[in-house]
Amino acid sequence: MKINIKMNKFATIEEVEQFDKVTYYTVRFEDRDESEFENFLSKHQDDPTIHDEYNDLMAWITIIGNKIGAKPSYFRPERKAHALPPPSRLVEIDYLQNLRLYCMWVSESIIILFNGAIKTQNTAQACPNVKPHFDLANRLVLAIEKLMRGPYKAIEEDKYNQQLIIDEGTEIML
C-alpha cells in the first residue's frame, strides 16, 4: 500500500548581493546547506559544455544590477515566475545549450534568484531538466506574493533603499 503524505517545506529569503540599481536575493530551504542560487552556481559554473552561456548569464546579472535595472522586458515570463537570460528579441543568443535561471521579479530594483538548468525541450514543462526548477519557482513566487500582499505583510519592499524588509522569523511555507 502506498501512502502519499504532503510535508511542508520551509525556506527563508537571503540577500545575495546589492548592486547600484538592483538587490538580488535568493531562497534557502531549512534542510539544505546551499541556497537555491548557490546550488545553481555549484552545478553550472564549472560545466565546460555551457561555459559561455554561464558567463553571459552572470554578466547579465551584473549589467542588470549595475547599469539598466531590472526592466521587466529583460526577463522571460515563465508563468508566475521569470527567467534569465533575457529573451532573444532583446539580445543575440547563439548557444548550443539553453541555460535557464528562474527568478521572481519583484520590482525594477529587487529580484529573487532561484535555481535552473539546461533547457532541452521547447517548453519548460516538457523538459526533464528544468521542469522541477520551473515548478518550484512558480510555487515560490505564489508563496512569496502571499506574504507580500496578504493582510499581514510579512515582506515589504523598501523602494528608497532597494531592499526587502522581512519580518523577523518570516518563513516561506510550501
What share of the chain in percent tops pLDDT 70? 90
Q: Hey, how many other C-beta atoms are within 10 angstroms of the C-beta on 80?
A: 14
Give me the pLDDT at residue 54, please.
95
Q: Higher-confidence residue: 153 or 54?
A: 54
Q: Hey, how many other C-beta atoms are within 10 angstroms of the C-beta on 63?
A: 16
- When the pLDDT of each residue in the chain is averaged and rounded to a whole number, the result is 89
Give me the pLDDT at residue 1, please.
44
Assigned C-alpha cell, 17: 548581493
C-alpha 114/C-alpha 7 separation (Å) is: 21
C-alpha 29/C-alpha 11 separation (Å) is: 4
CB-CB contact of 107 with 45 (8 Å): no
Give me the pLDDT at residue 174, please.
79
Query: If we measure between CA atoms, which residue out of 14, 17, 34 comes closest to residue 26?
Result: 14
Quick check: pTM over 0.85?
yes
